[in-house]
Structure formats: structure tokens, C-alpha cells
A and B are shown apart, each in its own frame.
Chain A
Amino acid sequence: MSLRTRLDQDARRGLSQISLPFIFVMLLLAVPLVILLAMSFWTQDFLTLDRTPTLNNFIEAWSEPIYRTLMLRSLKISIIVTFVTVGLAYPAAYYMSFIAPNNRKAFLVFLITIPFWTSYLMRIFLWKVILGYNGVINASLMGIGLIDKPLDFILYNQLAVVLTLSHAWLPFAVLPIFVVMEKVNRTYLEAAQDLGDTPFWQFIRITLPLSMPGVVAATLIVFVPTIGDYVTPKLVGGPDGLMIANLIELQFKKANNAPLGAALALSAMFLVTAVAAIFVWLNRRYLKAEGAA
């Protein structure tokens, strides 16, 4: 312990500890992604793999109308779902942080997260039940007498997908916003009030800006995984609501065209990362202090 080394004791300990999880991630994520990337430049003929590099898969992915349509549709659905989810989550988080009494907060967090812990598949399937021709909504509306024929536009289309996905992601969106709101120092609000702000302006000028890191986190948490959702479009989307993930699965399984599937998957990932990066960059000044996640 007598000579100054470039990596001091602190650094050595930290590095040795993080090495195991880091290597794990490298092996299971980085390496496979690189291989996936390589795969996207190859061609598959039934079960044989031709490894000569080619851009055909990417060209096909972006020029074939069906792939392009689905890619853009998935992006669109992701964006809409994110808006709806974060939009609904924000008031809920606000209630939980600023209106609910302190001793109830832990309970509310618990309450919000329980649905998250029930089977995802079940929840999607149940939405099918709710929105179906003989489903809960139609049965109730007919029962009350508001309509005399069941509604047929609420299932097997993009609307159903958006509705179902928004519902599924709500707890994910509420929690990050809640956490950040809890950190907002209430004394700031008192100071603002002392300086003349009404509750409305206190919200606009203090609470809203300070809660933005949470909003950004929630947006990313919802937006990025949604584009690749498989189960929801498959169960409630119908042909109109099909998303890119369903096509990717098809390429890997029945269509025996893994390279195309890889190209599609990577294109989707690139698309969503680009949009997310632009979003984060636009909001960069809100993220300077405590960062998201």
C-alpha cells in the first residue's frame, strides 16, 4: 500500500466485482447480437446457410411493402401506446405522490404492481374476452340497451392492440414517475407559494419540470419494448393489427429464413433506438441531475 499505482485499491475491487456480471452480459447479449448481425448478411435456403455477405435481406426488409408497412405500423403503435400510457400514468403517479397520505403510499405501490404480477398471457387473453363479439363490453352495452347489435370494431384490429398494450404497461409507467415525484422537495413548492404562485402554477413551474426525468424514464421503458411485442398482436390484433414481431417469428420458424428474420429484428431495433435517442436528446436538460433508471 505504499506506491501510487494507476489502478488504486478502490478501482481494483470495483472492477473485480463487476467483471462477472459484465462478462455474462457480453457472452449472452453482445456476442449473440453480433452473430445476429452477421446472420443478417447471409442467406438461408431451407436448412442450409449460405455465408456469402449480401445486403439482400435488408433491402427486402425495407422495400417489400409488407415488411415496411408492418415496421412502420409497429412504430406507430408504439408511439401511440407510449403517449396513452404515460398520459394516464402521470396523473396516477401525481395522486400517489402528492395527494395520497404518507402511510398509504406503500400500499398504493403494492396495489398498482399486483396486476403486473399476474400472467401476461392471461391478461391479453382476457382483453380478447372483454372486447369480443360476445364479450363483456358488448354484453353490458346491449344489456343496458345502449346498442342493439354487438360492436365489431373493438377487436382484431390496431385499436384493440393499442388498448391492450396500454393497459399492460401502465404499472411500468406509473412507478418511475412516482419515484421521481417522491424526490421532489416539498419545500420548493412552499417557496413558490410564498413567492405568489397558485397551485396550478406551482405545478407547472416546479413539479412538472422536476418530474420530467421520471417521465422520460417511463417513456423509454414503455416505448422500446412495445415495438417488439409478440403476444398482443397475435391474440387481439387480427390481420390489421399484426406487428413486426409476428413476422420475425415467422421467418425463424415456418419460413426458414432466419437471415431475413435477423435483418427485420435488427432493423426494428435500430428504428426504435434511433427514435429513443432523439427523444432523450430532446429532453437532455431534464436528465442532467438524477438520471433515468
Chain B
Amino acid sequence: MSKRILTIFMVVFVLFLYAPTLLLPIFAFNDSTFIAFPLSGFTFDWFASLGAAVELRGAAINSLIIASISAVTATTLALLASSATVRYRFPGKGIMIGAIMVPMFLPEIVIGVSLLTVVLLAGFQLSIYTIIMGHTLICTPFSIAILRSSFQQLDPSMEEASLDLGESRFSTFRRVTLPLIMPGVISSLLIAFTISLDEFVIAFFLSGTEPTLPVYIWSQLRFPRKIPSVMALGTLLLLLSICLLTLSEIFRRRSARRLGQKDNGGAW
């Protein structure tokens, strides 16, 4: 009996979860500048207007650059940190990994504000590089959470066998370790990328003259007439996210299958 209640709960839960998201495409195609019911009619106009927006293009490119670099940097740092914590014992381990994971638990505004303070006091300019620093800082803990389980699944005798057969540490990493943790690396890259792409608060505080996509969207939200185009943009971003995530899931499953690993659903 409780199974049925829980199942109904789950259905309602998922609907509740998706409710706002489902509205996006509805209003993106709605022929009206007012985001309200009743609906007016079907149009592609809002999507078309996106093509003309030059600032949008600039912001999108900024975001892509920032997200790519942040993802790669965060994943690299996370590789080092996870490898160290899962496989070795050394003094200060707990404190160091705790410190590295802290940004995941701090309010973004605190991070944004403290980085802003440092940048201004040091006399640096705000630019995409400052944002990349901030994003890497908050993405690394997530990447670590993912890669940690990859390393835990790694049989230490694999690397020992490679060494025993004559390979150096570096080529062991390249030929054995990296291929075996690849599903985790892919997940980490994609998740860090997505976090960075969508991140608003830190970018809001640290962006100079080149805004990121979320910052651009924010600036548009105060203009009621621009809203429908924002809806259209949101729909496109939604589609992009779904594609990216589906791809990442496909790659992850394929990788895991090839390595004969158990599928834990990618939940870290």
C-alpha cells in the first residue's frame, strides 16, 4: 500500500520538479510580449531575434571559453587531489582535502565578494580570467567527489603491474590509469562545464566589461519587452543541456561497460 503512495508521490515530485522548465518552450513560442496566460498564438519571432543580438553572441562565447577552461582546470586539480587522498596516506591529509572541498559548502556570495576584494585591492582588472579562477574554485570539489569514486574502483595492482612490466610512472598513467578512470574524467569535465556555464553570482561580481551568458540574461530580465527572447534563449540552453547530459551519460555508460565496471547510475 505504501508502495503505491510513494509511487504517486514520486510522480507528483517529478512533475513539480519539471514544472517551471516545461513553461520555457511554451512561452518561447507564444506570440505575445506578456509572459502570462492566456496564450496568444504560435511564433518563431523570438528565436529569430536571438540571431540579431550581438551582445548575446559575445556573452555566449565568453561563457563557453570560461566554462571550457574551468572544466579542464578543475578536472586536473581534482585528479591530483583525488589520487592523493584515495591512494596515499600522509600527514595533514584530512585538513588539506577539507580545505579543498570547502568552496562547495560556502555561499557563493562570500566567495564572490572575497575574490572581488582581493582583485580590487591588488589593482587587477576584472576579466574572464578572474571568473575562471572563481569557477575553478567551486567546480573542483564537485570534480573531486566524482573522481574519488573512480580512484576507489581502481585496482592498485593495475598500476603496479604496469610498473613491473617496465613502464615509467608517467607512461603508466597514460596507458593504464587514465583509460581506467575515463568515465569519471568525462563526467567531471561535463559537470564542471555545466556548473560554470550556468553560474551567476560569482560571475556577477567578477565580470568586467565582458559578461557571461547568465550575467547577460540577468541584464535582460529587467526589460519586459526582452523577456520572450530570453525565454527563447532559455529553451535553446535547455536543449543544449539535455544534449550534453545525454551524451555524457552515453559515453559514461559505454566506458563503464567496456571496462566491466558496475553501473551505479553515475551518482557520486
A-side interface residues toward B, CB under 8 Å? 7, 10-15, 17-18, 20-22, 24-26, 28-33, 35-36, 39, 88, 91-92, 94-96, 99, 105-106, 108-115, 117-123, 125-127, 129-130, 132, 134-136, 139-140, 143, 167, 170-171, 175, 178-179, 182, 199, 220-221, 224-231, 235, 245, 248-249, 252, 258, 261-262, 265-266, 268-269, 272, 293
Residue-wise interface mask of B (194-221) relative to A, using a CB-CB cutoff of 8 A (1 in contact, 0 not): 1000101100110000000010011001
B117 CB contact (under 8 Å) in A36, A94, A170, A269: A36
State whether A13 and B24 are in contact (beta carbons under 8 Å apart), knowing that A31-B118, A39-B117, A94-B6 are contacts in the complex: no
Chain A interface main SS type: helix
Cβ-defined contact, B36 with A132, below 8 A: yes
Cβ-defined contact, B217 with A122, below 8 A: yes
Identify the 9 closest CB pairs spanning chains A and B, nearest first: A228-B107, A14-B88, A134-B36, A139-B37, A126-B20, A106-B265, A32-B114, A11-B90, A18-B84
Q: Which residues of A contact B221 (CB under 8 A)?
A: 121, 125, 235
A22 to B144 CA separation, bound complex (whole angstroms): 13
Q: Which residues of B contact A32 (CB under 8 A)?
A: 114-115, 117-118
B93 at the interface (CB under 8 A from A): yes
Q: 23 pairs across A/B with beta carbons < 8 Å?
A: A12-B90, A13-B84, A14-B90, A18-B93, A18-B100, A21-B77, A21-B140, A29-B102, A30-B99, A39-B117, A95-B7, A95-B9, A126-B21, A136-B37, A140-B37, A228-B107, A228-B109, A228-B110, A230-B201, A245-B107, A252-B205, A262-B117, A265-B110
A225 to B195 CA separation, bound complex (whole angstroms): 15
B-side interface residues toward A, CB under 8 Å? 2-3, 6-7, 9-10, 13-14, 16-21, 23-24, 27, 34-38, 77-78, 80-81, 83-85, 87-93, 96-97, 99-111, 113-118, 121, 133-134, 136-137, 140, 145, 194, 198, 200-201, 204-205, 214, 217-218, 221, 230, 234, 237-238, 241-242, 244-245, 249, 253, 263-268
Cβ-defined contact, A7 with B90, below 8 A: yes
Chain B, residue nearest A20 (CB)? B80
Q: Which residues of B contact A125 (CB under 8 A)?
A: 221, 230
Cβ-defined contact, B6 with A99, below 8 A: yes
A39 to B18 CA separation, bound complex (whole angstroms): 43
Chain A, residue nearest B137 (CB)? A28
Q: Which residues of B contact A121 (CB under 8 A)?
A: 200, 214, 217-218, 221
Cβ-defined contact, A21 with B78, below 8 A: yes
Cβ-defined contact, B115 with A113, below 8 A: no
A12 to B153 CA separation, bound complex (whole angstroms): 23
A227 to B115 CA separation, bound complex (whole angstroms): 19
Cβ-defined contact, A119 with B237, below 8 A: yes
Q: What is the CB-to-nearest-CB distance from A14 to chain B, in angstroms, rounded to a whole number?
A: 3
A272 to B204 CA separation, bound complex (whole angstroms): 23
Cβ-defined contact, B35 with A167, below 8 A: no
State whether A129 and B113 are in contact (beta carbons under 8 Å apart), knowing that A136-B37, A225-B108 are contacts in the complex: no
State whether A225 and B105 are in contact (beta carbons under 8 Å apart), knowing that A18-B81, A18-B97, A179-B268 are contacts in the complex: yes
Q: Which residues of A contact B249 (CB under 8 A)?
A: 106, 110
A143 to B37 CA separation, bound complex (whole angstroms): 10
A175 to B142 CA separation, bound complex (whole angstroms): 13
A126 CB contact (under 8 Å) in B24, B109, B198: B24
A144 to B136 CA separation, bound complex (whole angstroms): 49
Q: What is the CB-to-nearest-CB distance from A27 to chain B, in angstroms, rounded to a whole number?
A: 9
A136 CB contact (under 8 Å) in B23, B80, B114: B23
